């Protein structure tokens, strides 16, 4: 029985290890800020879920300590509420700090739909380098720069 | 089993801290610090199980609380340049 619990919780811990290491490796390897955000969010949800399932099984059946299991479940619940909130806050702050997500060919992914976020700021000044013809106010300047 | 878990989490913690040092923008560093805090929570819990003392989970729960507050506070500070004066509401945006 104990060997069966060890094997099942070990499988869960191994899956969690793969998630955590994949997220950390993606945080190094990914080229853009928003792709790095995606990689880090995988760690925050998947890795924690599987590792804590394995730890709860160990705490209940092997260590015979149900209070630790309850605390681990509380930690998982709290992290499941706060980790996506923190990721969303970081990504929105990066958008408001004019970090624009880019496609592979260098074009900007978002343009006109961002205008409610950029209330009060110059959206055309943000997007001039990637979409010169899309900005209505600076048409003359963009035409001049294209002629050069 | 727990030793492998602790080693893997420690290696990924080192990778995340590398991103926190070489990150091009502020938000890369902040994302890396947030992810490192999440990994430290799992590391503390797993280390408690490794040394046969599962009571370390209390510290992990406390660290999860502090990590979230840290991220939000640092974001707010770098967005408005101030923490909690209340004068940024209608003026700066």
Task: Look at the alpha carbons of B10, B16, B22, B27 in this order and tell me if their dihedral is positive or negative.
Answer: negative
Token pair of A63 as six digits: 């260590």
Task: Kindly report the pTM of this predicted structure.
Answer: 0.76
Mind listing the pLDDT tens digit for each residue in A75-113? 999 989 888 898 888 888 888 777 777 766 666 666 545
ipTM: 0.81
Beta-bridge partner residues of A108: A102
DSSP, collapsed to helix, strand or coil, labels residue A108 as strand
- The two counts, helices (H) then strands (E), for chain A are 6, 0
User: Are the Cβ atoms of A36 and B34 closer than 8 angstroms?
Assistant: no
pLDDT tens digits for range B41-60? 999 988 988 888 888 888 88
Distance from CA of A40 to the nearest CA of B (A): 6
CB–CB of A55 and B46 under 8 A? yes
């Amino acid at each position: 029985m104990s060997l069966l619990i060890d094997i099942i919780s070990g499988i869960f811990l191994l899956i969690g290890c793969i998630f955590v290491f994949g997220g950390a490796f993606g945080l190094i390897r990914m080229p853009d800020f928003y792709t790095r955000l995606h990689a880090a969010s995988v760690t925050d949800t998947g890795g924690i879920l599987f590792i804590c399932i394995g730890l709860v099984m160990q705490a209940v059946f092997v260590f015979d300590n149900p209070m630790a299991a309850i605390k681990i479940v509380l930690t998982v619940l709290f992290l499941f509420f706060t980790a996506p909130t923190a990721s969303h806050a970081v990504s929105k702050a990066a958008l408001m700090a004019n970090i624009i997500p880019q496609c592979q060919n260098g074009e900007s992914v978002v343009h006109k739909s961002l205008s409610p976020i950029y209330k009060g700021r110059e959206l055309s000044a943000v997007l001039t380098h990637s979409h010169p013809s899309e900005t209505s106010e600076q048409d003359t300047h963009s035409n001049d720069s294209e002629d050069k | 089993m727990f030793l492998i878990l602790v080693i893997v989490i420690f290696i990924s913690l080192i990778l995340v801290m590398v991103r926190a040092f070489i990150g091009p923008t502020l938000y890369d560093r902040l994302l890396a610090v947030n992810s490192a805090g999440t990994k430290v929570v799992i590391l503390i819990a797993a280390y408690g199980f490794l040394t046969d003392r599962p009571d370390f989970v209390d510290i992990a729960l406390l660290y999860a609380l502090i990590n979230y507050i840290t991220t939000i506070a640092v974001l707010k500070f770098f967005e408005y340049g101030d923490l909690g004066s209340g004068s940024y509401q209608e003026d700066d945006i």
